[in-house]
């Protein structure tokens, strides 16, 4: 009986060893199937491209801010005045498609009073203020002062900003041109770096393209409230060139000559 037990234990031991041994082989097979690094040589290079361009889009943001006893009165009066402003803009060649509402805000206005007897501060509702700001975008860059003049004459009492920018179509054109130039710049830089090392580019491993963005334009004018006498002097507003820069990261495969 004792011999029988020893035989069973021996058989189980052999099976356990076999299972353990078999479990090792898939790992070995997997390691053999894994590709071994080829010892490739790489060179990482940054390419850059810069250009100066004239803006092709004028943006003027201005509007009307008024206060009336009730919200309805404020909205109605603001709407009436804004219709006059839009008519004035159309009279100088601005189309409806070039006019949009940038913001429309309405909020209560309170008057705060110190009650010396009670030692507290109270507030009384004195009316409602409505601020309606228009955004005018046009490719006619010479209209900046004219737009402001006619707007103020029609009732505009707030001028927020005037700035020049690039239209979406122009941005797409620049993106394609600058990326091509940046990649060519990276290729040229790689070639110059490899000449004294007696190496040359034999391929490309990867290319990293950044998000292309145009710097936010700096306003040529920014203000709060605009009195007609202060703005309607037809002061010329000039656009200026904008510097646009982009970069790419290229990893080249290289080999000895």
If you average pLDDT over residues 61-66, what whole number do you get?
Answer: 96
User: What's the CA gap between 219 and 161, in Å, rounded?
Assistant: 6
3-state DSSP percent of the chain in helix, strand and coil, to 5? 40, 40, 20
pTM, entire model: 0.65
C-alpha separations of 54 from 27, 161, 181, 243 in Å: 63, 19, 19, 9
In angstroms, the CA 164 to CA 222 distance is 13
* Assigned fold of 57-165+219-237: Alpha-Beta Plaits (3.30.70)
pLDDT band at 165 (very low <50, low <70, confident <90, very high): confident
pLDDT at position 148 over 80? yes
pLDDT digits (tens, 9 = 90+) for 14-30: 333 333 333 333 333 33
Q: How large is the average pLDDT for residues 114-120? A: 80
150 — pLDDT class (breaks 50, 70, 90): very high
For the segment 122-150, the average pLDDT, to the nearest whole number, is 94
Q: What confidence tens digit (pLDDT) does each residue in 194-250 have?
A: 999 999 999 999 999 877 766 666 566 555 444 444 444 454 555 677 888 899 999
Task: Delimit the domains of the chain by residue range.
Answer: 1-34, 57-165+219-237
Mean pLDDT of the residues in the chain: 80
| Residue 173 CA: distances (Å) to CA of 50, 179, 182, 208, 244 | 14, 10, 14, 20, 12
Structural tokens at position 207 = 């290319």
Distances (CA, A) of 142 to 148, 164, 171, 232: 12, 11, 21, 15
Candidate from 33-37, 81-85, 240-244 with smallest mean pLDDT: 33-37
| pLDDT value of position 25 | 37
Q: How far is CA 39 from the centre of its chain?
A: 41
Pair 199, 257: CB distance under 8 Å: yes
Helices (H), the chain: 2-33, 71-91, 144-154, 168-194, 228-231
């Amino acid at each position: 009986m004792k011999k029988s037990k020893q035989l069973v234990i021996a058989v189980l031991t052999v099976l356990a060893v076999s299972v353990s041994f078999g479990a090792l082989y898939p790992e070995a097979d997997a390691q053999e199937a894994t590709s071994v690094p080829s010892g490739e040589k790489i060179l990482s290079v940054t390419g850059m491209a810069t250009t100066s361009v004239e803006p092709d889009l004028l943006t003027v943001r201005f509007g009307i801010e008024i206060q009336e006893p009730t919200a309805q009165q404020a909205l109605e009066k603001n709407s009436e005045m804004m219709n006059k402003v839009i008519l004035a803009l159309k009279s100088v060649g601005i189309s409806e498609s070039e006019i949009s509402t940038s913001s429309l805000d309405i909020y209560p206005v309170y008057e705060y009073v110190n009650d010396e007897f009670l030692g507290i501060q109270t507030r009384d509702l004195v009316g409602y203020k409505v601020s309606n700001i228009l955004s005018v975008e046009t490719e006619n860059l010479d209209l900046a002062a004219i737009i402001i003049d006619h707007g103020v004459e029609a009732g505009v009492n707030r001028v927020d900003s005037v700035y020049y920018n690039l239209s979406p179509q122009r941005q797409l054109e620049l993106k394609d041109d600058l990326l091509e130039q940046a990649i060519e710049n990276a290729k040229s830089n790689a070639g110059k770096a490899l000449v004294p090392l007696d190496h040359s580019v034999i391929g490309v491993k990867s290319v990293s393209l950044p998000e292309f963005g145009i710097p936010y334009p700096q306003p040529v004018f920014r203000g709060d409230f605009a009195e007609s006498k202060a703005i309607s002097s037809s002061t010329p507003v000039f656009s200026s060139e904008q510097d646009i820069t982009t970069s790419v990261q290229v990893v080249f495969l290289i080999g000895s000559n």
